[in-house]
Amino acid sequence: MKFSTKEDIEAPIDVVFGMLCEFDTFERSAMRRGAEVQRVDKLTDPATGMKWEAAFDMRGKRREVKIEMVSFEKPTEMRLETVSPGLVGEMAFELMALSRSRTRLVSTLEIKPKTLSARLLVQSLKLAKTSLTKKYKLRVAEYTKDMEDRYQKSK
For domain 2-22+69-154, the question of CATH label 3.30.530 is answered with yes
pLDDT digits (tens, 9 = 90+) for 10-43: 999 999 999 999 999 989 999 999 999 999 999 9
pLDDT category, 145, cuts 50, 70, 90?
Answer: very high
pLDDT digits (tens, 9 = 90+) for 72-128: 999 999 999 999 999 999 999 999 999 999 999 999 999 999 999 899 989 999 999
For residue 58, pLDDT beyond 90: no
Based on the number of CB atoms within 10 Å of its own CB, is 108 exposed (0-12), middle (13-18) or buried (19 or more)? Answer: middle
Q: Residue 59: its pLDDT value, please?
A: 74
Domain coordinates in residue numbering, the chain: 2-22+69-154
pTM of the model: 0.89
Q: Are 52 and 69 in contact (CB under 8 A)?
A: no
